[in-house]
């Protein structure tokens, strides 16, 4: 049975989406939570690389970029190994608003991804779904109004289009709202509305573009780039300019002056309107690994060669035969992996200790086991020793089976993989280890925790000891990887081994002055020991016990705080929540809490089977009971939290309230289906 990566609801193994919150059951991005297209190398929503699982004794941890990626307020926690909820807080998506085919969530392919991050506006606002339309509320005055009742085309099938939450965006100052209308198939009409206007009397909305499949806006909203079919366009809200055709993906800078895009032939292009705006071809057949927030620095692979390109300068060849990039930093430093493979027939690893004996064996003949016998009356007849014949044939049959096995052992091959971890310091590359297994965590500074496999000698396996080809593969796997894995931290290129038994759930704190992990985890008790490794300058300390009886959930918060759970009940995924050894609350639902720029952490307790429970706030000192019977909520990370209560799961409607800490919760609207965005 699967577990929903957003809300923790139990799913059937065949489920494509969570029936409770609508999150796709397919792989989702561990950075932004968007569904990931099958086979994609990057998240279509935020651009984060998707790390493929290698055949190693330990699973690879999620990629963590060292670039200047923005962490929005209200980011919802998800346990390690799951995807964070969408930007702005925790909002469940009703089933009827979901895109059922995860591959169509964003039509841009995964070579270069259009990245947009919602930033908190200067005033508090809420966008939500009601009556299959889009509504808006200025949370200072409440005063909600409908932005559009034409969210979907009349012929639309609600089960086959975009989730609206991916397509609603505001400008940095919160004045303008961009939203979809007439959503049909994989396109929509893009509209913009001035939120300062008196829209309840006369709407200020106007159409920006038609038949849009993806778009990005500058922070001030005055520049819009969008895709129509495979064509890339730009508009300043007055004139429309076609940039190129056969475009696969694009990304713009915050101010909208810089553009990076890639066509379907793999050619990478760049333009800067501040320096003339002419489109410049950067390279071809590029697989982009990382782009700095200002689009000035690009890391990409081409024919397994890693390049670093700073706009205005010549590209720098970092290394060849690179298999993956683990982390890159806007300082021009990076960690990457080179993998070598060696294939050989399985027979090369087998000792044919039965060859001589089998060569002498021939198929048994009845005549060899037949004796002429004369009876008491002088008559003769043939008598066959069937027991001896059958025993001989059994021996011969086993020889035939071995002959088939020999042929298969010659046909099938075994691949021996070895990976080396490298560090590029901005000038040259240094090999850290040639026994790299997988990444566990990377820091905001050049720092990485990783597994190193303890590889043993390959044995010669007697053919008499095996029955199938996979017996050989299993024995080779055990010999290569069965010795376990050691954990190391590298700061720059200098590695230090970390003393541990079978550690898991590694995370650096925000300042990279400590590494936390859970060790000696008991599956029976669902708990382990939490350890901390202090990092001072170039010195890595020994693991010190931080806390005991910790569940397999760990999260680093701002200001170097660490959040974890104890006494976790896996029936309802609730337990006791701790921050820095301080017990915050009990019966906390571990798949649904959010935190922002301040101390405020919003979370749910006492969850029922429909995942409706009590919404609470922890301000760093005290807990506040905000409301009971809450279905979903979104916080701006500051003082405002909007939530749905009295929610009818069947009708997918409830009442939306606002809590801002200064007074009793205030009703925003009724019959609300979904909270889209709070800022």
The more confident residue out of 558 and 235 is 235
3-state secondary structure of 226: strand
What confidence score (pLDDT) does residue 155 get?
A: 58
- Using the predicted structure, report yes or no on whether residue 216 has a pLDDT greater than 90: yes
Position 463 scores a pLDDT of: 95
Asked whether residue 156 carries a pLDDT value surpassing 60, the answer given is: no
Integer Cα distance of 77 and 83 in angstroms? 9
Adjacency order of strands within the sheet including 176-184: 169-170, 176-184, 187-194, 206-212
- pTM value is 0.74
Q: What is the pLDDT of residue 600?
A: 84
* pLDDT for residue 477: 85
Handedness of CA 429, 432, 438, 443 (dihedral sign): negative
Pick the more confident residue, 99 or 607.
607
| Winning range, highest mean pLDDT, from 116-120, 200-204, 408-412, 458-462 | 408-412
Phi and psi at residue 86, in whole multiples of 5°? -70, 160
CA distance 249 to 260: 9
Share of the chain above pLDDT 90, in %: 57
- At 92 the pLDDT is 55
pLDDT of residue 597: 61
Pick the range with the lowest mean pLDDT from 217-226, 375-384, 464-473: 375-384
Helices (H), 462-584: 469-481
Please, which pLDDT band fits residue 570 given cuts at 50, 70 and 90?
confident
The residue ranking higher by pLDDT, 34 or 385, is: 385
484: left (phi over 0), alpha (psi -120 to 50) or beta: left
158-186 tens-digit pLDDT: 443 446 888 999 999 989 999 999 988 78
* Alpha-carbon dihedral angle through residues 517, 522, 527, 532, given to the nearest 10 degrees: -20
Residue 157 has pLDDT above 60, yes or no: no
**Tokens read off for 64:** 């963590």
CA-based R_g, the chain, Å:
31
Between CA 16 and CA 280 the distance in angstroms is 42
Percent of the chain with pLDDT over 70: 79
- The mean pLDDT value for 561-574 works out to 91
pLDDT score of 131:
86
pLDDT over 90 (residue 152): no
**How far apart (Å, rounded) are the C-alpha atoms in residues 552 and 568?**
9
Contact 283, 315 (CB under 8 A): yes
CB neighbour burial string for 79-90, b if at least 16 within 10 angstroms, e if fewer: bbebbbbbbbbb
Cα atoms found within 13 Å of the Cα of residue 359, Cβ hemisphere only: 5
Q: Is the pLDDT of residue 510 over 60?
A: yes
Q: What is the pLDDT of residue 544?
A: 97
Top pLDDT among 248 and 18 is at 248
Provide the pLDDT confidence category of residue 31 given band limits of 50, 70 and 90.
very low
What is the reported pLDDT for 71? Answer: 26
pLDDT, average across residues 5-23: 41
Q: For residue 91, what pLDDT is reported?
A: 53
- What residues does 3 pair with on adjacent strands? 10
Q: What is the pLDDT of residues 128-144, one digit of tens each?
A: 999 888 999 988 888 89
Question: Does the pLDDT of residue 419 top 80, yes or no?
Answer: yes
Among 33-42, 394-403, 438-447, the range scoring the smallest mean pLDDT is: 33-42
Q: Residue 508 pLDDT more than 90?
A: yes
Q: How many whole angstroms separate alpha carbon 31 and alpha carbon 116?
A: 13
Nearest to 115 by CA among 218, 250, 297, 272: 250
Is 211's pLDDT higher than 90?
A: yes
Which residue, 663, 672, 584, 585, is CA-closest to 631?
672
What tokens does 598 get? 């301040």
- Sign, Cα dihedral of 177, 178, 181, 184: negative
- pLDDT for 96: 37
Could you read off the pLDDT of 429-450 as tens digits, one per residue?
A: 999 999 998 899 999 999 999 9
pLDDT, one tens digit per residue, over 619-666 is: 888 999 999 999 999 988 777 899 999 999 888 899 999 998 877 899
- Contact at 8 Å (CB) between 488 and 452? yes
Least confident of 52-61, 169-178, 572-581: 52-61
Identify the CA nearest to 232 among candidates 253, 198, 209, 200. 209
Residues 134, 180: Cα–Cα separation, whole Å: 9
Q: Is the pLDDT of residue 87 over 90?
A: no
pLDDT band at 330 (very low <50, low <70, confident <90, very high): confident
Average pLDDT, the chain: 81
| CA separation for the pair 521, 532 (Å, rounded) | 15
**pLDDT at residue 83, rounded to an integer:** 31
């Amino acid at each position: 049975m699967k577990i929903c990566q957003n809300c923790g609801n139990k799913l059937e193994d065949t489920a494509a989406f969570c029936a409770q919150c609508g999150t796709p059951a397919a792989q989702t991005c561990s950075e932004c939570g968007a569904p990931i297209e099958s086979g994609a190398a990057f998240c279509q929503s935020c651009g984060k690389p998707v790390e493929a699982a290698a055949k190693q004794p330990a699973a690879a941890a999620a990629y963590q970029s060292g670039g200047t990626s923005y962490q929005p307020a209200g980011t919802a926690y998800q346990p390690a190994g799951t995807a964070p909820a969408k930007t702005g807080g925790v909002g469940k998506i009703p089933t009827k608003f979901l895109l059922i085919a995860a591959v169509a969530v964003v039509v841009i392919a995964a070579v270069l991804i259009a990245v947009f991050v919602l930033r908190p506006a200067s005033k508090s606002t809420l966008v939500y779904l009601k009556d299959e339309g889009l509504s808006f509320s200025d949370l200072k005055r409440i005063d909600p109004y409908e932005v559009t009742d034409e969210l979907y085309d009349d012929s639309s099938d609600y089960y086959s289009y975009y989730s609206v939450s991916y397509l609603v965006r505001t400008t940095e100052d919160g004045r303008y709202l961009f939203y979809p209308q007439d959503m049909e198939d994989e396109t929509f009409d893009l509209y913009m509305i001035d939120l300062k206007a008196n829209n309840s009397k006369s709407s200020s909305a106007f159409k920006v573009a038609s038949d849009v499949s993806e778009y990005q806006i500058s922070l001030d909203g005055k520049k819009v780039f969008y895709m129509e079919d495979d064509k890339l366009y730009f508009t300043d809200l007055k004139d429309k300019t076609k940039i190129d055709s056969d475009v696969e993906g694009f990304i713009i800078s915050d101010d909208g002056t810089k553009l990076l895009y890639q066509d379907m032939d793999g050619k990478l292009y760049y333009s800067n309107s501040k320096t003339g705006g002419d489109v410049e071809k950067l390279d071809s057949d590029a697989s982009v690994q990382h782009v700095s927030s200002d689009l000035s620095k690009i890391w990409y692979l081409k024919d397994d060669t890693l390049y670093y390109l700073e706009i205005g300068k010549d590209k720098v060849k970092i290394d060849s035969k690179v298999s993956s990039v683990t982390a890159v930093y806007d300082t021009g430093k990076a960690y990457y992996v080179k993998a070598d493979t060696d294939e050989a027939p399985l027979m090369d690893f087998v000792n044919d200790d039965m060859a001589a004996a089998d060569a002498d064996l021939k198929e048994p003949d009845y005549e060899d086991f037949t004796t002429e016998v004369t009876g008491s009356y002088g008559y003769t007849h043939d008598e066959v020793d069937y027991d001896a014949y059958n025993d001989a044939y059994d021996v011969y049959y086993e020889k035939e089976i071995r002959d088939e096995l020999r042929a298969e052992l010659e046909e099938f091959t075994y691949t021996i993989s070895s990976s080396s971890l490298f560090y590029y310091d901005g000038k040259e590359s240094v090999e850290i280890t040639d026994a790299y297994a997988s990444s566990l965590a990377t820091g905001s500074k050049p720092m990485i925790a990783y597994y190193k496999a303890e590889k043993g000698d390959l044995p010669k396996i007697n053919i008499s000891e095996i029955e199938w080809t996979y017996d050989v593969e299993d024995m080779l796997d055990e010999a290569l990887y069965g010795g376990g894995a050691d954990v190391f931290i590298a700061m720059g290129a200098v590695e230090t081994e970390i003393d541990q038994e079978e550690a898991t759930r590694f995370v650096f704190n925000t300042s990279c002055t400590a590494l936390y992990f859970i060790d000696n985890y008991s599956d029976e008790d669902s708990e382990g020991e939490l350890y901390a490794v202090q990092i001072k300058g170039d010195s890595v300390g020994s693991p010190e016990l931080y806390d005991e009886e910790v569940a397999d959930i760990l999260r680093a918060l701002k200001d170097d705080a660490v959040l974890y759970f104890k006494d976790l009940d896996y029936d309802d995924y609730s337990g006791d929540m701790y921050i820095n050894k301080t017990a915050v609350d009990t019966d906390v639902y571990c798949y649904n809490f959010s935190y922002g720029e301040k101390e405020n952490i919003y979370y749910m307790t006492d969850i029922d089977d429909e995942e409706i429970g009590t919404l609470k706030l922890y301000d760093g000192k005290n807990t506040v009971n905000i409301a009971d019977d809450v279905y979903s909520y979104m916080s701006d990370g500051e003082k405002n939290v909007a939530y749905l209560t009295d929610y009818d799961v069947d009708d997918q409607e409830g009442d939306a309230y606002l809590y801002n800490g200064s007074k009793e919760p205030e009703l925003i609207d009724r019959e609300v289906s979904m909270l889209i965005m709070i800022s």
